[in-house]
Amino acid sequence: MDYNNREEGEILVIQLSGRLTFTDSQAFDNVLNAMENSNLGKCVFDFRDLEFIDSSGLSMLLLARDVAGTRNMDLIFRAARGEVKDRLDFARFNTIVAIEE
Protein backbone atom coordinates (compact mmCIF):
# COMPACT_ATOMS: atom_id res chain seq x y z
CA MET A 1 0.00 0.00 0.00
CA ASP A 2 1.05 3.50 -0.74
CA TYR A 3 -0.67 6.46 0.84
CA ASN A 4 -0.72 10.20 0.65
CA ASN A 5 -2.42 12.49 3.11
CA ARG A 6 -3.19 16.13 2.50
CA GLU A 7 -5.46 18.84 3.78
CA GLU A 8 -8.14 20.21 1.48
CA GLY A 9 -9.69 23.10 3.34
CA GLU A 10 -11.23 21.62 6.47
CA ILE A 11 -10.86 18.01 5.27
CA LEU A 12 -8.03 15.53 5.81
CA VAL A 13 -7.83 13.45 2.62
CA ILE A 14 -6.01 10.14 2.79
CA GLN A 15 -5.46 8.56 -0.61
CA LEU A 16 -4.64 4.86 -0.63
CA SER A 17 -3.24 3.02 -3.63
CA GLY A 18 -2.12 -0.47 -4.49
CA ARG A 19 -3.08 -3.29 -2.14
CA LEU A 20 -4.14 -3.00 1.50
CA THR A 21 -3.20 -6.27 3.19
CA PHE A 22 -1.80 -7.68 6.42
CA THR A 23 1.72 -6.69 5.39
CA ASP A 24 0.69 -3.01 5.47
CA SER A 25 -0.27 -2.86 9.14
CA GLN A 26 2.84 -0.91 10.17
CA ALA A 27 2.47 1.56 7.32
CA PHE A 28 -1.21 1.97 8.17
CA ASP A 29 -0.14 3.10 11.66
CA ASN A 30 1.17 6.24 9.92
CA VAL A 31 -2.29 6.82 8.45
CA LEU A 32 -3.84 6.47 11.90
CA ASN A 33 -1.24 8.87 13.34
CA ALA A 34 -2.12 11.45 10.67
CA MET A 35 -5.75 11.17 11.75
CA GLU A 36 -4.89 11.41 15.45
CA ASN A 37 -2.71 14.48 14.90
CA SER A 38 -5.25 16.29 12.76
CA ASN A 39 -7.40 19.09 14.11
CA LEU A 40 -9.81 18.79 11.20
CA GLY A 41 -13.39 17.65 11.63
CA LYS A 42 -13.63 15.44 8.55
CA CYS A 43 -11.48 12.68 7.08
CA VAL A 44 -12.00 11.26 3.61
CA PHE A 45 -10.36 8.02 2.54
CA ASP A 46 -9.98 8.13 -1.25
CA PHE A 47 -9.91 4.60 -2.67
CA ARG A 48 -9.86 5.43 -6.39
CA ASP A 49 -6.34 3.94 -6.75
CA LEU A 50 -6.78 1.06 -4.29
CA GLU A 51 -6.83 -2.18 -6.26
CA PHE A 52 -7.26 -4.82 -3.55
CA ILE A 53 -8.17 -5.16 0.11
CA ASP A 54 -8.15 -8.29 2.25
CA SER A 55 -9.79 -8.98 5.61
CA SER A 56 -6.82 -7.48 7.46
CA GLY A 57 -7.20 -4.32 5.38
CA LEU A 58 -10.88 -4.17 6.33
CA SER A 59 -9.84 -4.48 9.98
CA MET A 60 -7.45 -1.56 9.53
CA LEU A 61 -10.33 0.52 8.19
CA LEU A 62 -12.27 -0.34 11.35
CA LEU A 63 -9.34 1.02 13.36
CA ALA A 64 -9.57 4.23 11.34
CA ARG A 65 -13.28 4.39 12.18
CA ASP A 66 -12.42 4.04 15.87
CA VAL A 67 -9.83 6.83 15.67
CA ALA A 68 -12.32 9.07 13.90
CA GLY A 69 -14.87 8.34 16.61
CA THR A 70 -12.51 9.28 19.44
CA ARG A 71 -11.57 12.49 17.59
CA ASN A 72 -15.21 13.42 16.80
CA MET A 73 -14.18 13.34 13.16
CA ASP A 74 -16.60 12.55 10.35
CA LEU A 75 -15.27 9.66 8.28
CA ILE A 76 -16.09 9.11 4.62
CA PHE A 77 -14.92 6.40 2.22
CA ARG A 78 -14.88 7.65 -1.36
CA ALA A 79 -14.46 6.26 -4.87
CA ALA A 80 -14.13 2.55 -4.10
CA ARG A 81 -14.35 0.47 -7.24
CA GLY A 82 -14.12 -3.11 -8.42
CA GLU A 83 -13.12 -5.70 -5.86
CA VAL A 84 -12.56 -3.07 -3.15
CA LYS A 85 -16.13 -1.83 -3.55
CA ASP A 86 -17.43 -5.39 -3.55
CA ARG A 87 -15.65 -6.21 -0.29
CA LEU A 88 -16.85 -3.03 1.42
CA ASP A 89 -20.39 -3.83 0.28
CA PHE A 90 -20.16 -7.46 1.39
CA ALA A 91 -18.85 -6.42 4.82
CA ARG A 92 -21.67 -3.84 5.03
CA PHE A 93 -19.35 -0.95 5.76
CA ASN A 94 -22.12 1.36 4.59
CA THR A 95 -23.83 0.72 7.93
CA ILE A 96 -20.93 2.17 9.92
CA VAL A 97 -19.21 4.65 7.58
CA ALA A 98 -20.50 7.10 4.99
CA ILE A 99 -19.61 5.84 1.52
CA GLU A 100 -19.55 8.12 -1.51
CA GLU A 101 -19.17 7.21 -5.17
Q: For 39-90, what is each residue's pLDDT tens digit?
A: 999 999 999 999 999 999 999 999 999 999 999 999 999 999 999 999 999 9
Look at residue 9 in the predicted model and tell me its pLDDT.
Answer: 94
Rounded-to-integer distance, Cα 37 and Cα 23, Å: 24
0.75 surpassed by pTM: yes
**Rounded Cα distance, 93 and 83, in Å:** 14
Q: Where do runs of H (alpha helix) occur along 1-99?
A: 25-36, 55-70, 82-90
Q: Which CATH number fits domain 2-100: 2.40.30.10, 2.102.10.10, 3.40.50.300, 3.30.750.24?
A: 3.30.750.24
Q: What H or E segment, with its residue span, contains residue 78?
A: strand 74-78
Which amino acid is residue 15, in one-letter code?
Q
* CA separation for the pair 75, 22 (Å, rounded): 22
List, in order, residues 6 or more apart from 41 with CB less than 8 Å away: 10, 72, 73, 74
Q: Is 74 exposed, middle or buried (0-12, 13-18, 19+ CB in 10 A)?
A: middle
